[in-house]
């Protein structure tokens, strides 16, 4: 994976890096720090849940941060 190009960006100096548990930290993609699929609700295709207040919790989802995430997000939007 080419580093810091249009499909991949890693900000290891971010105070929240990595914001999700990451198996392969070297592959963690920060490009979609805020997932553009969030607004799709339950149709985003990610690993999410709704908490007790009805708020979508995407903290277990690695789709936008992993290998192939850019392509997945672009297909969905």
Domain ranges (residues) in the chain? 1-77
Cite the DSSP H helix spans in the chain: 69-76
56-74 pLDDT per residue, tens:
999 889 999 988 999 999 9
| pLDDT value, residue 18 | 84
Could you tell me the pTM of the whole model?
0.78
| Listed residue (9, 14, 46) closest to 31, CA to CA | 9
Query: Are residues 73 and 32 in contact, defined by beta-carbon separation less than 8 angstroms?
Result: yes
The Cα angle at residue 42 between residues 39 and 47, in degrees rounded to 5:
100
> Which residue stretches of the chain have pLDDT < 50?
none
């Amino acid at each position: 994976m080419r580093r810091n190009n249009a499909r991949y960006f890693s900000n290891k100096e971010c105070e929240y890096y990595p914001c999700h548990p990451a198996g392969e930290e070297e592959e963690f993609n920060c490009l979609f720090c805020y997932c553009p699929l969030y607004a799709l609700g339950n149709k985003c295709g990610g690993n999410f849940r709704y908490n007790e207040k009805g708020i979508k919790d995407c903290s277990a989802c690695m789709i936008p941060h992993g290998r192939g995430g850019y392509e997945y997000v672009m297909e969905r939007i």
